[in-house]
Structure 1
């Protein structure tokens, strides 16, 4: 099982949760807050010592709860909604996705890696500039990744294929 499928399982993403995560508020707040909150929570060990486990737990709880925190959108045509739907298609039908999309998704994931390493080093060495800069570098490819997921969604729909957990009339 690959890393993305494991993450989806850990997040307990069922049809209802995916539909709620299609709310643009869910996608945007997750993208803009998850990594910064996690960095800040880990950094809090400087002030809180072992008490930092509490903000770390809270940051992880927010990451898990975010897809459930917002109502299902009335419409699914927002850019972020289509990105979330594309991600679902990608996760459930990866072998059926065009090779150029699979390659691009892999490249974008790999582009996040240097930033993640700088961020981790910054957190270990208490180098706040590295932690912040690394988090930004790790997060920027995510926006491009979501755009690729929109493209996957649009191609999938153009081919007349069904999106998991969605009725055709909703899209």
Structure 2
């Protein structure tokens, strides 16, 4: 079982949950979570212990988000294909992915992770530019990762993206 599979399971992303998370609203409202969490943590100097409220709200949204929206009516969206590509990537031990997709996801996940130390250090020393740099690196890596997952999905979806929807085709 891959790390991705374990993380998906920890967030409850199995079966229909993946389809619900494939709703573009789920993806687009999840992308700003690191920036929102960083802002909530940044507020600790102004709010003191009350900063736990926005931190808690962001953490709660992180858990609820993948199940908060209905499955999309169409998979024509970049975000939907990206999420469903993640399902293929998470199962890569069971179902091999094309060779052209084996390196980039790991590199992009690493790029995304490279931003985290800058965010943490910037929060610790209250350096806004360092925090912003870290968030830019993290967000760029994650967004590029989603784009690669959309390409992976396009390559592995039998009969194209519309035919791969768990045996049924959503409306266009």
Give the equivalent residue in structure 2 for 1:8: 8
CA distances 1:4-57 after superposition (whole Å, capped 9, x unpaired):
2332122111222211111111111111x2111110111121122233222211
Task: Give the count of matched residue pairs.
Answer: 169
* Kept in 1: contact 2:88–2:153 (CA 8 A): yes
Q: Distance in 1 between matches of 2:59 and 2:36?
A: 9
Q: Distance in 2 between matches of 1:117 and 1:86?
A: 27
Q: Where in structure 1 are there 5+ consecutive unaligned residues?
A: none
Give the equivalent residue in structure 2 for 1:87: 86
Give the equivalent residue in structure 2 for 1:148: 148
Shift in Å, 1:121? 0.7
Q: Where in structure 2 are there 5+ consecutive unaligned residues?
A: none
Shift in Å, 1:158? 4.7
Q: Distance in 2 between matches of 1:118 and 1:78?
A: 32
Q: Distance in 1 between matches of 2:3 and 2:42?
A: 26
CA distances 1:34-85 after superposition (whole Å, capped 9, x unpaired):
1111101111211222332222111111111111222211112211111111
CA distances 1:109-132 after superposition (whole Å, capped 9, x unpaired):
111232221111101111122112
Q: 1:98 to 1:89 in 2, by over 3 A?
A: same
TM-score normalised to structure 1 length: 0.87
Larger deviation, residues 49-58 vs 100-109? 49-58
Shift in Å, 1:106? 0.6
Q: Distance in 2 between matches of 1:93 and 1:168?
A: 23
1:20-99 aligned within 5 A: 20-31=20-31, 33-94=32-93, 96-99=96-99
Higher helix share: 1
Shift in Å, 1:97? 1.1
* Kept in 1: contact 2:2–2:91 (CA 8 A): no
| RMSD, matched Cα | 2.3
Q: 1:44 to 1:3 in 2, by over 3 A?
A: farther
Q: Distance in 1 between matches of 2:3 and 2:47?
A: 31
